């Protein structure tokens, strides 16, 4: 006689009943259990505790779970998150690769450092400072020389950056400004907007640069729905619009762009003198080849960096490097 219990699972009678009886039984007897459906997405906006999360093109307005508050973690625009689509809540935040302070945006891939060819005049010192900050934050940089229609003379001032390996694009919005927003695609090929857009593809970008160089105009030209306010910064500040607004991520082709310019030259402070050489990409192939292992490439002899000045390194860039190093050393004394 067989006494041992069967180990295999035999379907119970209730499952063997016909389908319609089973469905009816389910409706009356079984409490509906909503399974959590999780998705991953990108926070594109955050106002008053409500976060806009884009998951594969679908938009969810979510709140953050209390657990974040307890841990004193705030979700930021740019965060990659896991959400529960039933509760519309943010369940998890992926580790950030970087974090910009102004505007508060996480995971920036690339900064479009914008300078004007004129009005205001091209400022190499400020450009170098912004490039150094970007490199220090681990963010790729693209240099955009806007207002190229106002450029007179040669491109000599831009050559050190091309030699250093930075992507450099010259743009002009003169035609866009004259003809409002519905500019023809062929114009955008000629005026550099097309090239800039392709450099921004597939990345989370932020603009940086002094006021008046045309950052807002560029964002409008790239993303016609952006509707950025153009013009005198003092007027904008008086209206208070740009001082209080929250940063938002806008879709740009296959990439994204933050609608508020970021970075300030103040953020270069605090970088130690010995870190600067690695923030100048054209120095990188020669780092480690100096006679003294602690060479700061200033007054030392047999310095591989100094030997390249006038060759693989432009004098103006080396001088700019020295400026940072000496200032950092003074600051640390
Ligand atoms: P932002 O402060 O960097 O955001 O600069 P804005 O976008 O507000 O532009 C400042 C001024 O420069 C505005 O009057 C624009 O119309 C003008 N502007 C922007 N881009 C160009 C350009 O490519 N060429 C010329 N000539 N003017 C421009
Ligand atoms: Zn050296």
Least confident of 89-93, 262-266, 297-301: 262-266
pLDDT of residue 279: 98
Q: Predicted confidence band at 319 (pLDDT cuts at 50, 70, 90)?
A: very high
**Within a 10 A sphere around the Cβ of 53, how many other Cβ atoms?**
26
Separation of 266 CA from ligand 2 center, angstroms?
27
Instruction: Indicate the top mutation candidate among 111, 178, 212, 243 to test ligand 1's pocket, ranked by most ligand atoms within 8 A of CB.
Output: 212
Of 2-16, 99-113, 250-264, least confident by mean pLDDT is 2-16
- Separation between Cα atoms, residue 252 and residue 200, nearest integer Å: 8
Considering only CA atoms, which of 128, 123, 120, 139 is closest in space to residue 206? 139
Ligand 1 in contact with 175 (CB < 6 A)?
A: no
Give the whole-number percent of the chain exceeding pLDDT 90. Answer: 63
Question: Cα of 217 to ligand 1 centre, how many Å?
Answer: 6
177 lines ligand 1 (CB under 6 A): yes
Average pLDDT over the chain, rounded to whole? 85
Distance 66 CA to ligand 2 centre (A): 52
Q: Does residue 235 line the site of ligand 1, with CB under 6 A?
A: no
Average pLDDT estimate for 15-34: 59
Nearest to 142 by CA among 152, 157, 130: 130
Q: Give the pLDDT confidence score for residue 65 in this predicted structure.
A: 86
Query: Cα(260)–Cα(209) distance, rounded to whole angstroms?
Result: 11
The residue ranking higher by pLDDT, 280 or 15, is 280
CA of 142 to the centre of ligand 2 (A): 27
44 pocket-lining for ligand 1 (C-beta < 6 Å): no
Q: Is residue 15 scored above 50 in pLDDT? A: no
Please tell me the number of the ligand nearest to residue 211's CA.
1
More confident residue, 289 or 270: 289
Residue 235 in this model has a pLDDT that exceeds 60: no
Residue 16 has pLDDT above 60, yes or no: no
Decide if 158 contacts 168 (C-beta within 8 A): yes
Tell me which residue of 126, 226, 127 sits closest to 168, measured CA to CA. Answer: 127
Complete domains list, the chain, with CATH? 38-95 (2.40.50.140), 100-265 (3.40.50.300), 269-332 (1.10.40.50)
CA 297 / ligand 2 centre spacing (Å): 4
**Is residue 14 pLDDT above 60, yes or no?**
no
Q: Which of helix, strand or coil describes residue 274? A: helix
Q: Whose CA is nearest to atom 6 of ligand 1?
A: 214
User: How far is ligand 1, taken at its centre, from the CA of residue 243, in Å?
Assistant: 19
Name which residue sits closest to atom 24 of ligand 1, judged by CA.
Answer: 147
**DSSP single-letter state for residue 192:** S
Q: Give the model's pLDDT for residue 188.
A: 74
CB of 230 within 6 A of ligand 1: the answer is yes
Give the residue, by CA position, lying nearest to ligand 1 atom 5.
Answer: 214
Res 194: pLDDT: 93
30 falls in which pLDDT band (50, 70, 90)? low
pLDDT given for residue 73 in this prediction: 85
The answer to whether 27 and 19 have CB atoms below 8 angstroms apart is no
Alpha helices in the chain (DSSP H): 13-16, 19-29, 66-70, 124-136, 159-163, 174-178, 185-190, 193-200, 215-222, 233-239, 241-244, 304-307, 315-332
Cβ(217) – ligand 1 distance below 6 Å: yes
User: What's the DSSP call for residue 150?
Assistant: G
Cα 149 to Cα 86: distance, rounded to the nearest angstrom? 53
Q: Which atom of ligand 1 is nearest to the CA of 229?
A: 8
Does the Cβ of 104 fall within 6 Å of ligand 1? no
In this structure, of 16-20, 130-134, 227-231, the range with the lowest mean pLDDT score is 16-20
CB of 176 sitting under 6 A from ligand 1: no
Task: Classify residue 238 as exposed, middle or buried by CB count within 10 Å of its CB (0-12, 13-18, 19+).
Answer: exposed
| Alpha carbon distance 201, 143 (integer Å) | 15
Q: Is the pLDDT of residue 213 over 50?
A: yes
Nearest Cα residue to atom 20 of ligand 1:
214
pLDDT band, residue 148 (cuts 50/70/90): very high
Higher pLDDT, 254 or 182: 254
CB of 147 sitting under 6 A from ligand 1 = yes
Place 6 in a pLDDT band, splitting at 50, 70 and 90.
very low
Q: What is the pLDDT of residue 233?
A: 54
Query: Does 7 have pLDDT greater than 80?
Result: no
Does position 291 have pLDDT exceeding 90, yes or no? yes
Highest mean pLDDT pick, 86-90, 207-211, 240-244, 276-280 = 276-280
How many angstroms separate the CA atoms of 78 and 111, rounded? 14
């Amino acid at each position: 006689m067989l006494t041992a219990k069967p180990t295999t699972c035999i379907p119970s009678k209730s499952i063997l009943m016909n389908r319609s009886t089973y469905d009816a039984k389910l409706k009356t007897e079984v409490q509906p259990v909503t399974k959590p459906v999780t998705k991953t997405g990108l926070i594109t906006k955050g106002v008053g505790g409500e976060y806009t999360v884009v998951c594969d093109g679908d938009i969810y307005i979510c709140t953050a779970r209390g657990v974040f508050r307890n841990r004193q973690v705030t979700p930021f625009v740019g965060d990659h998150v896991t959400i529960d689509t039933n509760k519309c809540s943010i369940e998890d935040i992926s580790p950030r690769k970087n974090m910009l302070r102004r505007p508060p945006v996480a995971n920036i891939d690339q900064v479009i450092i914008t300078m004007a060819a004129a009005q205001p005049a091209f400022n190499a010192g400020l450009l170098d400072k912004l490039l150094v900050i970007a490199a220090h934050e681990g963010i790729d940089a693209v240099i955009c020389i806007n207002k190229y229609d106002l450029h007179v003379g040669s491109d000599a001032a831009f050559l050190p950056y091309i030699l250093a390996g930075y992507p450099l694009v010259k743009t002009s919005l003169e035609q866009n400004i004259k003809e409002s927003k519905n500019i023809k695609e062929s114009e955008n090929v000629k005026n550099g907007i097309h090239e800039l857009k392709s450099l921004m593809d597939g990345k989370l970008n932020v603009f940086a640069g002094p006021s008046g160089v045309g950052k807002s105009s560029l964002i409008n030209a790239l993303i016609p729905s952006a509707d950025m306010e153009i013009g005198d910064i003092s007027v904008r500040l008086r209206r208070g619009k740009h001082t209080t607004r929250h940063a938002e991520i806008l879709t740009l082709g296959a990439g994204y762009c933050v609608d508020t310019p970021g970075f300030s030259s103040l953020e270069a402070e605090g970088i130690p003198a010995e870190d600067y050489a690695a923030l100048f990409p054209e120095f990188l192939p020669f780092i480690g080849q100096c006679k003294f292992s602690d060479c700061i490439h200033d007054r030392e002899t047999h310095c591989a960096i100094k030997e390249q000045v006038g060759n693989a390194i432009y004098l103006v860039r080396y001088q700019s490097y020295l400026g940072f190093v000496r200032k950092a050393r003074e600051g640390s004394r």
